[in-house]
Chains A and B, each alone.
Chain A
Amino acid sequence: MSESALRAEQTHFRADQAHYVADLEETPLATTDQVDESAAPGGLWLEAWRTLRKRPLFIVSSLIILFLIVVALFPDLFASQDPRHCVLSNSLGGSTSGHPFGFDLQGCDIYSRVVHGARASVSVGVLTTSLVVLIGGAIGAVAGFFGGMLDSVLARITDIFFSIPLLLASITCMQAFPDKTVTVVALVIAAFGWPQVARIMRGSVISVRSAEYVTAATALGASRTKVLLRHVLPNAIPPVIVIATVSLGAFIALEATLSFLGIGLNPATTVSWGGDINTAQNVLRSNPSVLLYPAAALSITVLSFIMLGDAVREALDPKSRKR
């Protein structure tokens, strides 16, 4: 018997450390490890969704985004005036009935241009993000999962593309294309915007691939490809979703920047917020509102995507998941 226990035997008996047994009524026993049938079933995604839909950040941002998508798809529902119908005599006119935002330097209706400009921004954002997720996600997943030489090579390629600032590369590339459509802009931005997603996907895949359920799947007989597609990717996706959402906003801002610099979407064929901001520069001092309306629309759009990204990040945060 241990020394301390011997000592305990010898010291005089302390009354408040006598044998005490709790009242059985007050301390009832439950069956060991019983299944809780009462809670509603739901896995990761359902849990995340339930958390998400209660957050004001999510509600506000998704409402704005939904509204934007509707405006982008059906601009004529919101603005009856043709955005390219510009009458010089109206130049810089203030707001009148039917033209709540007034007129710009060319005499075009600003409100109508703002409404129609949504389509360009949203399409570029969505298209670019899809491309970036596909390219970057694939490269990152392959690099992270297979490791070794393949990973080294892909990681260096990612570094190379990453080292060229996105804005500069986009500006340079845009020069090459005389016909600057939405697709062209999306391709150009995506060509240099994928490394960030690749890095995040790679990191996520690396941390997931050492999970025991991946080993378990291999032990069950699943081939490497099956393991990658069915177990690793679904679990590695959450951080990629977050970055994709935030990047969407960033790409919209980038497209506007390109248009602002005059090398983005062709202003003759496409109405875009960036382009309008560009032309509004000249009258900035006298009529700042000409610039501020499209600028505000742009800012709200980007803001809503970043807010959404924030909300999604919190909902998918593994630390707050139930264990």
Chain B
Amino acid sequence: MTDIIASTEQAPVDPHAPLLEIIDLDVSFRAANGTETPAVRGANLTVYPGQTVAIVGESGSGKSTTAHAIINLLPGTGRVTGGQILFQGRDLTTLPAKQFEDIRGDAIGLVPQDPMSNLNPVWKIGHQVSEALRANGRAKGAEAKRQAAQLLTEAGLGDAERRLKQYPHEFSGGMRQRTLIAIGLAARPKLLIADEPTSALDVTVQRQILDHLEELTAELGTAVLLITHDLGLAAERAEHLVVMYKGQVVESGPARRILTDPHHPYTRRLVASAPSLVARRSDTAAARAEVVERAEQAADAAVVADGGATPAGGARSTGEDVLAIENLTKVYKIRGAGRNAGEFKAVDDVSFSVRRGTTTAVVGESGSGKSTLAQMVLRLQEPTEGRVLFDGADVTTFDRKAQFKFRRRVQPIFQNPYGSLDPTYSIYRTIEEPLRLHNVGDKRSREATVRDLLDRVSLPASVMRRYPNELSGGQRQRIAIARALALRPEVVVCDEAVSALDVLVQAQILDLLSELQADLGLTYLFITHDLAVVRQIADQVCVMQSGKLVEVADTDTVFESPQQEYTQALLNAIPGATLSTSVVDAGSRPAGE
């Protein structure tokens, strides 16, 4: 570790007195028409010097609001309506705005959530880092520049001198996050608030950055208040956990205790659903095998029932491999500025096959090519080389008519529930669209089909006349599933279909997908970056890195005895991976829902 800029001497901190005490905090937001909505109610939490405390919760739990309230950074419409925030004995809720400038940066630092939008795009990195030093009176002019370079190095950014002169858009996500960490720690605060500091990053990068942050704060003696939605991550990094739900603290205590002995029903739900923890359970394999068997039976039955023909009129084989990828390659030409122009291989010679009625997961980090692969299977992009065999036929040679029929048999579900439904279409129209496009049935039968589909995804029929903007993310994803099933496809390509959902909702959707697979004999191609989710739902796993297929094997093999280093690195990077199995298993005993 390069030598750390020593923190200037301030009043010595008493290790036995709490650094931060939040007592009965209430925070409300005022809407345009004047009504006040409480976002946080009666929250209590304590942080001791040098300690790491994690606040865990889903969206809407109030965890970020609490964190922002501490340094008076609530958006204009929010304010503290009750309770106290004691920092080293001073009540911050009664502090005049001017004095907060002294506290911020100096005493309490912030590492915000989204690295893209939290750095000003028009100023150089060096300027933005040294600004933090100047603002807190740590250094000026050339000295500030020198220290800024050191801060960047300490945060893990190599070649710091050159980096100072670059702009945020020239950095990768991980580099920007490190910059934000450097800024947050620049003035050596006593407390660092880290708001979901790594949610937007790849798993391996996440682990590196969090490890680094842990080392740094340990050396500096900084207390950390970590905000996260990931229970596994929280338990791994913090000594003390605070679980929030709908603005209230429902449970808190030592991290191990919360995992092994959760009391509150919400905590129990979280522990039961968190993929990184669930993935360790031994009963997953058995449950999975059962689903696969039922699915295979249903798939075979469907083939027989149709007399060997698909609804689209093509011949349906009883062969095992419904999908076969052979030497698939995709090369992009980059139009760049002189030097940068060239080729980019998004997918490089990938081959694998998928058995009917099973789930194959394609796992990779950003830039691995997994999404491009999915797009080629869906015929949304043309491969440069190689072929995709669907039911034995090479789809890359299909003409327009054949492709149209093909679309009925392979359907996608996309990642962003807020983007995959047309906001001007009612729910009814959204689900009906595929039926209309392919001229299935008449108006009345289509309505019946829509109702049936909504029932399958456990949504009330009344939802038909609503619009996407009235539904939550999980509900919209169900609609997307219903739409995908409308044409009774054989293969469903889930492109990060659950990645944007809260943990509990994610668990629900995964259960739904499993159920549907068992009932309808569906085959899934499941694209995801989350290896933990994979264990719950996949039979076969393909690991991709930089366009190449690194490893392909059945789930158990990949998880228990991975062949490749990269796969092992991915497994190690799962948040919660370092928690001992006994801790995880203990907490997951079915304690009743």
Q: Do chains A and B touch in the complex (CB under 8 A)?
A: yes
**Could you list which residues of chain A lie within 8 angstroms of chain B, going by C-beta atoms?**
1-5, 7-9, 14, 16-22, 24, 26-27, 29-30, 32-33, 35-37, 39, 41-45, 47, 211-213, 215-222, 226, 231, 234-235, 321-323
Inside 8 A of B214's CB, which chain A residues have their CB?
Answer: 3-4
Q: Which residues B19-58 have CB closer than 8 A to chain A? A: 44, 46, 48, 52
From A29, A222, A321, contact of B469 by CB (8 A): A321
Inside 8 A of B483's CB, which chain A residues have their CB?
Answer: 216, 220
In the bound complex, do residue A35 and residue B471 qualify as a contact, i.e. CB atoms below 8 Å apart?
yes
Inside 8 A of A2's CB, which chain B residues have their CB?
Answer: 236-237, 578-579
Q: Does B90 contact A (CB under 8 A)?
A: no
Inside 8 A of B252's CB, which chain A residues have their CB?
Answer: 17, 19-20
Inside 8 A of B465's CB, which chain A residues have their CB?
Answer: 41
From B263, B265, B438, B467, contact of A42 by CB (8 A): B467
Q: Does B8 contact A (CB under 8 A)?
A: no
Inside 8 A of B463's CB, which chain A residues have their CB?
Answer: 35
In the bound complex, do residue A36 and residue B470 qualify as a contact, i.e. CB atoms below 8 Å apart?
yes
Separation of A9 and B236 alpha carbons in the complex (Å): 14
Q: Does B424 contact A (CB under 8 A)?
A: yes
Inside 8 A of A221's CB, which chain B residues have their CB?
Answer: 404, 407-408, 434, 437-438
Given contacts A3-B218, A33-B505, A221-B437, 18 further A-B contacts (CB under 8 A): A2-B237, A5-B235, A5-B236, A17-B48, A17-B253, A17-B254, A19-B251, A21-B263, A30-B246, A32-B508, A33-B472, A41-B466, A43-B426, A213-B419, A216-B412, A216-B420, A220-B411, A322-B470
**Given A5-B239, A44-B467, is A213 in contact with B266 using a C-beta cutoff of 8 Å?**
no
Q: Which residues B389-420 have CB closer than 8 A to chain A? A: 404, 407-408, 411-412, 414-416, 418-420
Separation of A36 and B18 alpha carbons in the complex (Å): 42
Least CB distance from A226 to B in Å reads 8
In the bound complex, do residue B248 and residue A27 qualify as a contact, i.e. CB atoms below 8 Å apart?
yes
In the bound complex, do residue B264 and residue A37 qualify as a contact, i.e. CB atoms below 8 Å apart?
no
Least CB distance from B221 to A in Å reads 13
From B248, B460, B508, contact of A37 by CB (8 A): B460
In the bound complex, do residue B475 and residue A35 qualify as a contact, i.e. CB atoms below 8 Å apart?
yes
**Could you list which residues of chain B lie within 8 angstroms of chain A, going by C-beta atoms?**
18, 44, 46, 48, 52, 214, 218, 235-240, 245-246, 248-258, 261, 263-266, 269, 378, 380, 404, 407-408, 411-412, 414-416, 418-426, 433-434, 437-438, 459-460, 462-463, 465-472, 474-475, 480, 483, 504-505, 508, 578-580, 583
Separation of A1 and B266 alpha carbons in the complex (Å): 25
Inside 8 A of A7's CB, which chain B residues have their CB?
Answer: 239
In the bound complex, do residue A8 and residue B240 qualify as a contact, i.e. CB atoms below 8 Å apart?
yes
From B240, B422, B474, contact of A17 by CB (8 A): B240
A44 to B, closest residue via Cβ: B423
Inside 8 A of A3's CB, which chain B residues have their CB?
Answer: 214, 218
Separation of A1 and B238 alpha carbons in the complex (Å): 11
In the bound complex, do residue B467 and residue A43 qualify as a contact, i.e. CB atoms below 8 Å apart?
yes
From A17, A24, A43, A217, contact of B265 by CB (8 A): A24
In the bound complex, do residue A222 and residue B437 qualify as a contact, i.e. CB atoms below 8 Å apart?
yes
From B256, B425, B475, contact of A5 by CB (8 A): B256
Inside 8 A of A41's CB, which chain B residues have their CB?
Answer: 465-467, 470
Identify which of B246, B408, B433, B579 gathers the most chain A CB atoms within 10 Å of its CB. B433
Least CB distance from B72 to A in Å reads 24
In the bound complex, do residue A45 and residue B424 qualify as a contact, i.e. CB atoms below 8 Å apart?
yes
20 A-B residue pairs with CB within 8 Å: A2-B236, A8-B239, A8-B254, A17-B253, A32-B474, A32-B504, A33-B475, A41-B465, A44-B469, A47-B469, A213-B420, A213-B421, A213-B422, A213-B423, A220-B433, A220-B434, A221-B408, A231-B422, A234-B422, A235-B424
B509 to A, closest residue via Cβ: A33
Separation of A218 and B378 alpha carbons in the complex (Å): 10
Inside 8 A of A30's CB, which chain B residues have their CB?
Answer: 246
Separation of A42 and B466 alpha carbons in the complex (Å): 6
**Given A16-B46, A22-B250, A37-B462, is A220 in contact with B407 using a C-beta cutoff of 8 Å?**
yes
From A22, A29, A323, contact of B418 by CB (8 A): A323
Separation of A216 and B415 alpha carbons in the complex (Å): 11
**Given A2-B236, A41-B465, is A219 in contact with B251 using a C-beta cutoff of 8 Å?**
no
Inside 8 A of B470's CB, which chain A residues have their CB?
Answer: 36, 39, 41-42, 322
A7 to B, closest residue via Cβ: B239
A12 to B, closest residue via Cβ: B16
Least CB distance from B437 to A in Å reads 5
Inside 8 A of A18's CB, which chain B residues have their CB?
Answer: 253
A234 to B, closest residue via Cβ: B424
Identify which of A1, A2, A17, A37 gathers the most chain B CB atoms within 10 Å of its CB. A17
In the bound complex, do residue B437 and residue A220 qualify as a contact, i.e. CB atoms below 8 Å apart?
yes
Inside 8 A of A234's CB, which chain B residues have their CB?
Answer: 422, 424
Separation of A87 and B535 alpha carbons in the complex (Å): 95
Inside 8 A of B459's CB, which chain A residues have their CB?
Answer: 35
Least CB distance from A3 to B in Å reads 8
In the bound complex, do residue A1 and residue B433 qualify as a contact, i.e. CB atoms below 8 Å apart?
no
Separation of A84 and B214 alpha carbons in the complex (Å): 88
Inside 8 A of B466's CB, which chain A residues have their CB?
Answer: 41
From B245, B250, B380, contact of A218 by CB (8 A): B380
In the bound complex, do residue A323 and residue B469 qualify as a contact, i.e. CB atoms below 8 Å apart?
yes
B224 to A, closest residue via Cβ: A4
Separation of A22 and B578 alpha carbons in the complex (Å): 29
**Given A212-B420, A222-B437, is A1 in contact with B505 using a C-beta cutoff of 8 Å?**
no
